[in-house]
Amino acid sequence: MSAKPQESVLVVDFGAQYAQLIARRVRECKVYSEIVPYDISPGEIKSRGASALIFSGGPSSVYQDRAPHPDPGIFELGIPILGICYGHQLLAQDLDGRVEATGIREYGKTEMKVTGDSILFEGLPLEQTVWMSHGDSVQGAPSGFQVTARTAASPVAAMEDTARRLYGVQFHPEVIHTPLGKDILKNFLYNAADLLPTWTMVSIIEQAVEEIRANVDSNKIICGLSGGVDSATAAVLVHKAVGDQLTCVFVDHGLLRKGEGEQVEDTFRRHFHMNLIHVQAQERFLARLEGVTDPEVKRKTIGEEFIRVFEEVARDLKDTHFLVQGTLYPDIIESGTRDAARIKSHHNVGGLPEDMDFTLVEPLRNLFKDEVRAAGEELGLPEEIVWRQPFPGPGLAIRIIGEVTAEKLDILRDADDIVLDEIKRAGLYKEIWQSFAVLPDIKSVGVMGDERTYAYPVVVRAVTSEDAMTADWARLPYEVMERISSRVINEVKGVNRVVLDISSKPPATIEWE
Ligand code: XMP
């Protein structure tokens, strides 16, 4: 189940990297938008009740043998369409205009002149800078279309057929390098397609709450909390909808960062007054991890134990048939296409067994991460949860190289807390994707006072990233590194050295195991 507003724009995807950005921009204009594959049928578009379509750009040339084309019936639906770049060329070619490979590429910032009356450019200057990236170009608009803009190399940089409500632009209005791009999109949405900017955080929450109520009815429902923003926001939304019918389960496997358990208690039990089962399973997990050094075995052991604990709690909650999951929209988009080699077996609170007999409730399945954060803020979640850096399900165990012991966990937790504290004090917490400490399985010699020490080093890992698929090491200021180093060595017993990980991903990964 999911909360979907009545008005929606479908972004027809002709090349994955463009479609997401377009959908995000449309949503920023407060109109709901979803991505659909290019071979969607007209019937499906109708049954989804789409209010407008946007054809995305894409890497193909309309001339290629197997270039993706939309079903021609789509043009008969009477739904407004905006074609962008490749989408613009498709409109031209499929409606009998002229697209040519002139050999002149336009790439980057390009000056464009608006040449006629236009809905897309209404209220905007006649000369604009736009971002282009194309080889083929539209040389002749199809009949019924007015040419509304040109550039030096594109005689038809934009065109519109207001009677059929079809619009095309050769440039990319969705990228920030087209400064007026959002205004052009707004003109399409509000003026060409007559949509209203009603998709706001308040309406998103209201709609989700209504849907959850309708689906869950008077049944009981459980939600696994991880301490992260997704499960927290999902839980608060469901609680807002069905109150005490919800029980949250927080499995403390003892591999959490400092203070995390208390914060979950504080937020959910004391602030939101939710039913919370806080399972203290630290000893159980430590026992299972005894002697385990292989990273994959560690991950699998923790994942399995987590499931076992969760199942036991769920069994005790009789008559509970619904389970909340914090699935996000990018998971949905990617699950259809993801074909990556398994580098590490991931586990998170979502990684529950398939044979558990629950109906899933996924109130965030249409939202991007930043929208989830905005919803979390609107729902009153504390900033520390809303802006928390990602944290892996297996927790500190995969940041301790070698066997996980209570002693090493204490060292790492304290060192990690100092790293985070200093990163926050320097105002870098939000701009850095993840920053944390790692404890390797070696010791080195040092000298403290007049004494020889033989103790662990701590590795500082801080990375910047967009989506964790790739990452770069963060260039932390020397002063911040200095404070981290001196505090960790002075305040954490058992550590006599601090080193910095300066590897990017690939070839390294963000976590050490
Ligand atoms: P790597 O180490 O593969 O990590 O570069 C990429 C991102 O995924 C996080 N991560 C996990 N998240 N369960 C999770 O929920 C896991 O088992 C897991 N392992 C890694 C990691 O923190 C980084 O953000």
pLDDT digits (tens, 9 = 90+) for 443-493: 999 998 889 999 999 999 999 998 888 999 999 999 999 999 999 999 999
Percent of the chain with pLDDT over 70: 95
Strands 8-13 and 32-37 turn out to be parallel
Q: For residue 172, what pLDDT band results from cuts at 50, 70 and 90?
A: very high
Cβ of 393 less than 6 Å from ligand 1:
yes
Q: 403-452, pLDDT tens digit by residue?
A: 999 999 999 999 999 999 999 999 999 999 999 999 999 999 999 888 99
Q: For residue 2, what pLDDT band results from cuts at 50, 70 and 90?
A: very low
Which of 263, 275, 286 lies closest to 324, judged by CA? Answer: 275
Q: Which residue's C-alpha comes closest to atom 22 of ligand 1?
A: 392
Cβ of 300 less than 6 Å from ligand 1:
no
Cβ of 394 less than 6 Å from ligand 1:
yes
Three-state DSSP class for residue 251: strand
Q: 340-364, pLDDT tens digit by residue?
A: 455 666 655 545 666 677 899 999 9
Strands 451-464 and 495-500 turn out to be parallel
Cα separation, 296 vs 221, whole angstroms: 32
Q: Is 223 a catalytic residue?
A: no
Q: Is 177 a catalytic residue?
A: no
Please name the residues in contact with 294: beta carbons below 8 A apart, sequence gap of 6 or more: none
| Cα distances (Å, whole numbers) of residue 314 to 27, 285, 321, 347, 372 | 37, 19, 9, 19, 26
Confidence check: pLDDT of 336 > 60: no
Among 88-97, 238-247, 315-324, 329-338, where is mean pLDDT lowest?
329-338
Please name the residues in contact with 281: beta carbons below 8 A apart, sequence gap of 6 or more: 251, 252, 253, 254, 305, 309
Which residues, in sequence order, are bridge partners of residue 461?
436
Cβ of 468 less than 6 Å from ligand 1:
yes
Cβ of 80 less than 6 Å from ligand 1:
no
pLDDT at 334: 66
Average pLDDT over residues 135-157: 96
> In angstroms, how far is the first alpha carbon of the chain from the final one?
35
Confidence check: pLDDT of 337 > 90: no
Q: Which of 172, 239, 253, 347 is catalytic?
A: 172
Which of 167, 174, 170 lies closest to 153, judged by CA? Answer: 170
Q: Is 479 a catalytic residue?
A: no
Cβ of 390 less than 6 Å from ligand 1:
yes
| Pocket residue to mutate for ligand 1, from 346, 348, 433, most atoms within 8 A of Cβ | 346
Q: For residue 1, what pLDDT band results from cuts at 50, 70 and 90?
A: very low
Q: Omega of the bond prior to 507 within 30 degrees of 0, cis?
A: yes
For ligand 1, the distance from its centroid to the CA atom of residue 312, given in whole angstroms, is 26
Q: For residue 339, what pLDDT band results from cuts at 50, 70 and 90?
A: very low
Q: Which residue's C-alpha comes closest to atom 17 of ligand 1?
A: 346
Question: Residue 369 corresponds to which amino acid?
Answer: K
Among 96-105, 338-347, 489-498, where is mean pLDDT lowest?
338-347
| Torsion-angle region of 324 (φ positive above 0: left; ψ -120 to 50: alpha; else: beta) | beta
What is the number of the ligand 1 atom nearest to the C-alpha of 465? 24
Confidence check: pLDDT of 62 > 80: yes
Q: Which token pair is 156?
A: 């038809």
Q: Which residue's C-alpha comes closest to atom 18 of ligand 1?
A: 392
What is the number of the ligand 1 atom nearest to the C-alpha of 509? 5
Cβ of 369 less than 6 Å from ligand 1:
no
What is the number of the ligand 1 atom nearest to the C-alpha of 508? 5
pLDDT at 344: 61
Cβ of 509 less than 6 Å from ligand 1:
yes
pLDDT at 345: 62
Upper half-sphere CA count for residue 276 (Cβ side, 13 Å): 25
Cβ of 351 less than 6 Å from ligand 1:
no
Structural domains of the chain, with CATH: 9-192 (3.40.50.880), 201-386 (3.40.50.620), 402-501 (3.30.300.10)
Q: What is the dihedral of CA 123, 126, 130, 135, to 10 degrees?
A: 130
Q: Whole-prediction pTM value?
A: 0.86
Q: Which of 106, 174, 260, 422 is catalytic?
A: 174
Q: For residue 90, what pLDDT band results from cuts at 50, 70 and 90?
A: very high
Cβ of 142 less than 6 Å from ligand 1:
no
What is the number of the ligand 1 atom nearest to the C-alpha of 471? 5
For ligand 1, the distance from its centroid to the CA atom of residue 396, given in whole angstroms, is 12
Q: Which of 7, 29, 34, 85 is catalytic?
A: 85
Cβ of 284 less than 6 Å from ligand 1:
no
Which of 211, 225, 189 lies closest to 25, judged by CA? Answer: 189
For ligand 1, the distance from its centroid to the CA atom of residue 376, given in whole angstroms, is 22
Q: Would you tell me how many other CB atoms lie within 10 Å of the CB of residue 174?
A: 26
* Residue 299: burial class (beta carbons within 10 Å; 0-12, 13-18, 19+): buried
Average pLDDT over residues 174-189: 96
* Residue 223: burial class (beta carbons within 10 Å; 0-12, 13-18, 19+): buried
Confidence check: pLDDT of 227 > 90: no
Q: Choose between 122 and 103: higher pLDDT.
A: 122
DSSP 170-238: SS-TTSTTSTTHHHHHHIIIIIIS-------HHHHHHHHHHHHHHHHTT-EEEEEE-SSHHHHHHHHHH
- Please provide residue 276's backbone torsions phi and psi, each rounded to the nearest 5 degrees: -130, 125
Q: For residue 4, what pLDDT band results from cuts at 50, 70 and 90?
A: low
| Pocket residue to mutate for ligand 1, from 298, 306, 344, 416, most atoms within 8 A of Cβ | 344
Average pLDDT over residues 238-257: 97
Residues 390-409 as b or e (16 or more Cβ within 10 Å = b): ebbbbbbbbbbbbebeeebb
For ligand 1, the distance from its centroid to the CA atom of residue 21, given in whole angstroms, is 24
Q: Which token pair is 220?
A: 């009981």
- Given a contact cutoff of 8 angstroms between Cβ atoms, the answer to whether 141 and 92 are in contact is yes
Which of 63, 40, 67 lies closest to 53, judged by CA? Answer: 40
pLDDT at 348: 55
What is the number of the ligand 1 atom nearest to the C-alpha of 391? 22
DSSP 477-510: -HHHHHHHHHHHHHHSTTEEEEEE----BTTS-S
Q: Choose between 63 and 409: higher pLDDT.
A: 409
For ligand 1, the distance from its centroid to the CA atom of residue 34, given in whole angstroms, is 26
Which of 156, 161, 155, 157 lies closest to 143, judged by CA? Answer: 161
